[in-house]
Amino acid sequence: MSVDVSPERSYKEVQFLIVDDDSVSIMSIERAIKKLRLVNPVRNARDGREALDILRGTNGRVKIEAPFVVILDLDMPEMNGIEFLEEVRDDPELKSSVIFVLTASDAPEDVTKAYEKNIAGYVVKENAYDTFRQTLSMIDTFSSVVVLPT
């Protein structure tokens, strides 16, 4: 089996969807993106419902174009991260979405529930800026090396 990596093959730029209700976390993520000089388009959602609207292009939201990577907090109002994961994985059009959890919870049951929903990785927010910078650097490398579905 061979993979076409010829220069003629072009890949669309990966977009990031950050799903987090904490404005301090969002500002830290945006600051880390700026420091890392990432140019990928970034969208924000305050909870799982808003994120689903962005993923589906419903309720007046512009649909995010593939390829995209979701960075998901678990503790949010309206629809939390686990509920969001359940709905995404049950949706035939969204079930293959690449989702990383970036949350304050290190509870074993949260880690287990998230991985049961086929997340790409689980990162615990510790020192906010450093954690975001390291995580985004890893996700940027991941998204630039791995071919994502369009």
Rounded to whole angstroms, the Cα distance separating 35 from 19 reads 20
What's the CATH code, domain 15-145? 3.40.50.2300
**What's residue 150's pLDDT?**
66
Sign of the C-alpha dihedral, residues 31, 37, 43, 45? negative
pLDDT in tens, 106-140: 999 999 999 999 999 898 887 666 776 777 777 77
**What's residue 116's pLDDT?**
96
Query: CB-hemisphere CA count at 13 Å for 135?
Result: 29
Rounded to whole angstroms, the Cα distance separating 8 from 14 reads 18
For residues 16-25, one letter each, b for 16 or more C-beta atoms within 10 angstroms of the residue's C-beta and e for the rest, the string is bbbbbbbeeb
Are 67 and 150 spatial neighbours (Cβ–Cβ below 8 Å)? yes
Rounded to whole angstroms, the Cα distance separating 26 from 91 reads 27
Domain boundaries, the chain: 15-145
**What's residue 8's pLDDT?**
44
**What's residue 49's pLDDT?**
96
**What's residue 128's pLDDT?**
62
Are 63 and 94 spatial neighbours (Cβ–Cβ below 8 Å)? no
Q: Per DSSP, what are the bridge partners of residue 43? A: 17
**What's residue 41's pLDDT?**
85
pTM of the shown model: 0.82
pLDDT one digit per residue (tens) for the chain, 150 residues: 334 444 443 456 788 899 999 988 888 878 877 777 778 788 999 999 999 999 999 999 999 988 898 999 999 988 999 999 999 999 999 999 999 998 889 999 999 999 999 999 898 887 666 776 777 777 777 777 776 666
